[in-house]
């Protein structure tokens, strides 16, 4: 039997009070980018009212954070975004993370790094902490670079995309006001100059002269005004619309963003000073799209991404999409109107669309790929000393998410549903996953916000400083691999408190079974992690089935809440904890757990 890794921070997954991280220091430990099917634990979907007459919590059990009553979290995030007291802001972000973790709906497994294969004759490809891979300045001894990033992309519209592979395509086919260089540093791109008012609220951005779209037409500041207002319009239904909350809204719901009369400068008014605003300007959701191109699609008002669902659409980056054989391949060609076209050496990017990492690895070894963004799990050990195998830093978390409206929790009080999710967390062996599936030095995760993330106040979020004392004072020792029996016993007691019965040998009784479906996309590592979880949960008789679906289907089904429990991952969009927190507000398009819905 696998040894189960224990969470010493399990106390934080208990029903602690919300004030644990509300001030400058904390006394309690903090808690730790398919198709719906019914379960044996109930049918239908529960809402807050359904739990009113359910079994009361056990005596002495504290009130749980109710993920269906989420107004407090939403208000806290809004306060974090508008405060100018950065010490208090840091404390509030710890409080918000505690609220998330106390729901038990996020089960962090490990903090990301990234791996890829790149042929020795290829150079000048670079990536950043957020998973963006830049191919536009690559050099090789051929005019074509053959790449695999993933399977069929979900969206190519930079306002609608919310996947890392889609972002990689966006940064190579569109350009924004800012970008990242090979060192991961923020740099102006289409911006020639930026000035900021003394109060930090007004940004004036002067554009480079003579900017053009890929069809040769003029690109100016009015294109940004249109694009950003489109991104926040309810009709667009962009997952990342909340990324524009930093900008002041007009009475009609549009953004307080204006273009100069000559179209050469952009004036942006913020709600509050925002230390990471230039990072937002480098994010794909802030890239411009051409209005006439978007609105040329017959159904553009009801299908906002229709304009770029086939090859040939207008963009403004290093490459334009010239051919698209859906689910097979994409061909990007150099854009002669790109403002840095003289620096683009490779004429063509040939994309293999596949999530079959065994087939991808075979294609790479056969010389049919120059760059592969995935490797089969069982090949990693043999590649660790290969100079073509690269391990790079990321800033993000691989985790499991629970649909808090799943039938799995029907008829349970918030406290009982919370106890179920915490029991599942105690059964998971993160060390096994990291050591035997990840294999590239990933760090087991005990919280959602990743290790190394800045705190927005000149320090590191998970480090003690003068402004804040982080609850977990040790950097190691979150897990006790010898505590299998204690974790198992605690998980059983939690499930008993949720109304489940057990036999004398510590297995779930046939009278109170737990059966659910785990949703994942293809990939040997994702499936191996699912199988590891399946074995962990089976230790007490929980029956978990695994459903594997195509990548774009997976994204849409998870977003819609058509799942019980699903694999998930989030790479930060910029280096501030608010990015990992604001995605969980009720109205966020990235709120896969369905908090407050």
205 and 312 share a domain? yes
pLDDT of residue 471: 53
Name beta bridge partners: 268: 203, 257
Which residues have C-beta within 8 Å of that of residue 251, sequence separation ≥ 6? none
pLDDT value for 486: 79
Q: What count of Cα atoms within 13 Å lies in the side-chain half-sphere of residue 332?
A: 29
Q: What's the CA dihedral at 572, 578, 584, 590 to 10 degrees? A: -40
139 and 87 share a domain? no
CATH number of the domain at 176, please: 3.40.190.10
Residue 484 confidence (pLDDT): 64
Q: Taking the CB of residue 192, how many other CB atoms lie within 10 A of it? A: 14
Query: Which domain-ending residue is among 305, 333, 355?
Result: 355
Taking residue 546's Cβ as centre, other Cβ atoms within 10 Å add up to: 16
What's the domain count of the chain?
2
Last residue of a domain, one of 355, 383, 416: 355
If one counts every other C-beta atom within 10 angstroms of the C-beta of residue 262, the result is 8
Q: Which of 161, 205, 184, 127 is nearest to 315 (CA)?
A: 161
Specify if 423 maps to a domain. yes
Q: Does residue 117 fall inside a structural domain?
A: no
Q: Is the same domain home to 296 and 331?
A: yes
The confidence score (pLDDT) of residue 443 equals: 92
Assigned domain for 400 exists: yes
Q: Report the C-alpha gap between 528 and 107 in whole angstroms.
A: 17
Q: Tell whether 174 and 289 lie within a shared domain.
A: yes
Residue 56: Cβ within 10 Å count: 10
In whole angstroms, give the CA distance from residue 213 to residue 288: 10
Pair 134, 96 in one domain = no
Picking from 509, 505, 508, 526, the residue whose alpha carbon sits closest to that of residue 568 is: 526
Q: What DSSP letter does each residue of 70-84 carry, written as one string?
A: -HHHHHHHHHHHH--
pLDDT per residue, tens digit, the chain (597 aa), is 443 333 333 333 333 332 233 333 222 222 233 222 322 332 333 333 333 333 444 433 445 689 999 999 999 999 999 998 999 999 999 999 999 999 999 999 999 999 999 999 999 999 999 999 999 999 999 999 999 999 999 999 999 999 999 999 999 999 999 999 999 999 999 999 999 999 999 999 999 999 999 999 999 999 999 999 999 999 999 999 999 999 999 999 999 999 999 999 999 999 999 999 999 999 999 999 999 999 999 999 999 999 999 999 999 999 999 999 999 999 999 999 999 999 999 999 999 999 999 999 999 999 999 999 999 999 999 999 999 999 999 999 999 999 999 999 999 999 999 999 999 999 999 999 999 999 999 999 988 999 999 999 889 998 877 766 655 433 333 345 556 677 889 999 999 999 999 999 999 999 999 999 999 999 999 999 999 999 999 999 999 999 999 999 999 999 999 999 999 999 999 999 999 999 999 999 999 999 999
d(CA 161, CA 158): 5
Residue 2 lies in a domain: no
Residue 34: inside a domain: yes
**Are 417 and 496 in a shared domain?**
yes
What is the reported pLDDT for 315?
Answer: 98
Alpha-carbon gap, residue 250 to 257, rounded angstroms: 9
Q: Is 458 left (phi over 0), alpha (psi -120 to 50) or beta?
A: left
Q: Is position 173 within any domain?
A: yes
CB 264 within 8 A of CB 224: no
Nearest to 581 by CA among 245, 178, 228, 170: 245
In a domain, 207, yes or no: yes
Same domain for 153 and 106:
no
- List Cβ neighbours of 250 (8 Å cut-off, separation of 6 or more): 256
* Residues 404 and 509 occupy one common structural domain: yes
Domain containing 434 — which CATH number? 3.10.105.10
Residues 181 and 90 reside in one and the same domain: no
Q: Which domain holds residue 509?
A: 10-112+394-584
Compute the distance between CA of residue 56 and CA of residue 416 in angstroms, rounded to an integer.
8
Instruction: Tell me how far the alpha carbon of residue 541 is from its chain's centroid.
Output: 31
In a domain, 595, yes or no: no
Domain boundary among 299, 329, 355: 355
pLDDT digits (tens, 9 = 90+) for 441-459: 999 998 899 999 999 988 9
393: helix, coil or strand? strand
55 plus 88 within the same structural domain? yes
Residue 436 sits in the same domain as residue 505: yes
- Give yes or no: residues 421 and 351 share one domain: no
pLDDT score of 183: 95
594 and 405 in contact (C-beta within 8 Å)?
yes
């Amino acid at each position: 039997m696998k040894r189960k890794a224990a969470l010493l921070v399990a106390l934080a997954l208990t029903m602690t009070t919300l004030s644990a991280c509300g001030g400058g220091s904390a006394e309690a430990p903090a808690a730790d980018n398919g198709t719906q099917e019914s379960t044996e634990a109930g049918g239908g979907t529960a809402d807050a009212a359904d739990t009113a007459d359910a079994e009361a919590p056990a005596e002495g059990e504290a009130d749980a954070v109710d993920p269906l009553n989420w107004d407090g979290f939403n208000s806290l995030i809004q306060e974090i975004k508008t405060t100018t007291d950065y010490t208090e802001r840091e404390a509030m972000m710890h409080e918000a993370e505690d609220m998330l973790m106390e729901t038990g709906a996020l089960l962090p497994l490990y903090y990301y790094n990234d791996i890829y294969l790149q042929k020795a004759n290829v150079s000048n490809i670079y990536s950043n902490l957020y998973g963006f891979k830049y191919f536009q300045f690559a050099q090789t001894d051929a005019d074509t670079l053959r790449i695999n990033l993933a399977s069929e992309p979900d969206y190519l519209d930079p306002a609608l995309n919310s996947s890392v592979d889609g972002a990689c395509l966006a940064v190579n086919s569109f350009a924004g006001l800012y970008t990242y260089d090979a060192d991961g540093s923020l740099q102006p791109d289409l911006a020639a100059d930026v000035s900021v008012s003394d109060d930090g609220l007004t940004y004036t951005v002067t554009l480079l002269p003579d900017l053009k779209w890929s069809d040769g037409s003029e690109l100016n500041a009015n294109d940004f005004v249109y694009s950003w207002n489109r991104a926040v319009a309810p009709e667009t239904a962009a997952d990342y619309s909340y990324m524009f909350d930093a900008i002041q809204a007009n009475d009609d719901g549009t953004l307080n963003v204006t273009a100069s009369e000559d179209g050469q400068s952009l004036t942006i008014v913020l709600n509050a000073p925002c230390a990471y605003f230039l990072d937002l300007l480098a994010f794909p959701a802030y890239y411009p799209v051409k209005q006439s191109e978007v609105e040329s699609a017959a159904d553009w008002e009801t299908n906002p991404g229709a304009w770029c669902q086939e090859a040939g659409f207008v963009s403004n980056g290093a490459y334009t999409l010239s051919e698209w054989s859906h689910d097979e391949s994409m061909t990007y060609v150099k854009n002669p109107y790109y403002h840095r076209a003289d620096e683009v050496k490779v004429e063509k990017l040939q994309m293999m669309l596949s999530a079959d990492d065994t087939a991808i690895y075979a294609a790479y070894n056969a010389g049919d790929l120059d760059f592969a963004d995935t490797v089969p799990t069982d090949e990693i050990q043999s590649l660790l000393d290969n100079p073509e195998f690269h391990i790079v830093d990321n800033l993000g978390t691989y985790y499991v998410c629970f649909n808090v409206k799943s039938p799995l929790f029907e008829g349970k009080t918030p406290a009982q549903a919370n106890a179920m999710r915490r029991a599942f967390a105690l059964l998971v062996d993160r060390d096994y996953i990291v050591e035997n599936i990840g294999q590239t030095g990933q760090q087991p995760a005990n919280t959602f916000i990743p290790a190394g993330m800045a705190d927005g106040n000149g320090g590191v979020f998970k480090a003690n400083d003068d402004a804040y004392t982080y609850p977990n004072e040790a950097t190691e020792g979150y897990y006790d691999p010898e505590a299998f029996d204690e974790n198992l016993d605690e998980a059983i007691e939690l499930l008993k408190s949720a109304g489940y019965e057990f036999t004398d040998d510590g297995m779930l009784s046939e009278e109170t079974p737990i059966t659910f479906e785990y949703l994942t996309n293809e990939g040997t590592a994702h499936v191996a992690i699912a199988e590891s979880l399946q074995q962990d949960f089976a230790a007490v008789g929980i029956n978990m089935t695994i459903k594997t679906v195509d990548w774009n289907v997976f994204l849409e089904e998870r977003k819609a809440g058509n799942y019980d429990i699903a694999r998930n991952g989030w790479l930060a969009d910029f280096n501030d904890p608010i990015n990992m927190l604001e995605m969980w507000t009720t109205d966020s398009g990235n709120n896969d757990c369905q908090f407050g819905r």
